[in-house]
Amino acid sequence: MTGELMIKYIVLCDGDLEVTVTMADLLKDEKIARAIKNTFAKGKRDIEAVIGEAGSMTIKNKKTVQTVSIPKDHFMDALTLAEEDAKAKKLIKKGCDRIEIVDIETQ
């Protein structure tokens, strides 16, 4: 095969946060429900917040996506080559020693 692959990856750390919260969970918290009502229905009485669709929100660490180009022939070694690139860029350190491939694009 000829050409290259653009590997996009992020570095994962031990203390990373990823929590998914549904709208129902948010509205169960009385402080949040009251703040929403005060913002969108200020001065109104007997207001009820009803959830229409099952929406959710994910709270997670913001990560910088890193890239590395590799030959298409080395597709099977993409993870290893991405790890080597992260080590060369000194992104791998104590507590941040894993990577996750986000996307692979052909060029």
Give CA–CA dist 78/67, Å, rounded. 11
Following DSSP, what letter does each residue of 18-44 receive, concatenated?
Answer: EEEEEHHHHHHSHHHHHHHHHHHSTT-
pTM: 0.68
| pLDDT at residue number 28 | 84
CB 16 within 8 A of CB 99: no
Q: Quick one: average pLDDT of 1-16?
A: 89
Q: Quick one: average pLDDT of 88-93?
A: 92
The encoded tokens of residue 101 equal: 């491939």
CB 91 within 8 A of CB 13: no
The encoded tokens of residue 106 equal: 């052909």
Give per-residue pLDDT as tens, 32-81: 888 888 888 888 877 777 776 667 788 888 889 999 999 988 888 899 99
Average pLDDT value over all residues in the chain: 86
> Fold for domain 1-16+61-107?
Ubiquitin-like (UB roll) (3.10.20)
Burial of residue 37 (number of CB atoms within 10 Å: 0-12, 13-18, 19+): middle
| pLDDT at residue number 54 | 67
| Strand 56-60, strand 98-106: pairing | unpaired
All structural domains of the chain with their residue ranges: 1-16+61-107, 17-60
